[in-house]
Amino acid sequence: MLKIDPRERQVANLLLAGCCNKEISKELHIALRTVKAILKKLFMRFGITDGIKRVKLAGLLYREGMHTSAASNL
């Protein structure tokens, strides 16, 4: 299982639910810049350096089983 902190998990769950950065920012009451920083950290941690980063990260998280909790956090 992937090791991510609670805030990263919240951002990841909203990403899996199909939210854009701005929607994630509003939902979690955090700055858009913070959302981008968290996503960048996740991309780096999982070696996602090119291509459609959000799609790759969402696919990875989905395969790791995070999808089961995505809807419950909305």
- Give the domain CATH number at 22: 1.10.10.10
From first to last of its 74 residues, the chain has per-residue pLDDT tens of: 567 899 998 998 898 888 999 999 999 999 999 999 999 998 888 888 877 887 888 888 777 776 544 444 44
pLDDT of residue 55: 82
pLDDT value at position 1? 56
Residue 12 lies in a domain: yes
> Domain for residue 57, yes or no?
yes
Residue matched to tokens 């299982």: 1
Q: Tally the residues of the chain.
A: 74
| Nearest CA-CA partner of 37 in 2, 67, 11 | 11
Within-domain flag for 1: no
Q: How many domains does the chain have?
A: 1
Residue 10 inside a domain? The answer is yes
State the DSSP code for 50: S
Q: CA end-to-end span of the chain, whole Å?
A: 22
| pLDDT in the model for residue 52 | 83
Within-domain flag for 73 = no
pLDDT number for residue 24: 97
Domain extent, residue 39, equals 6-68
User: Residue 67: its pLDDT value, please?
Assistant: 54
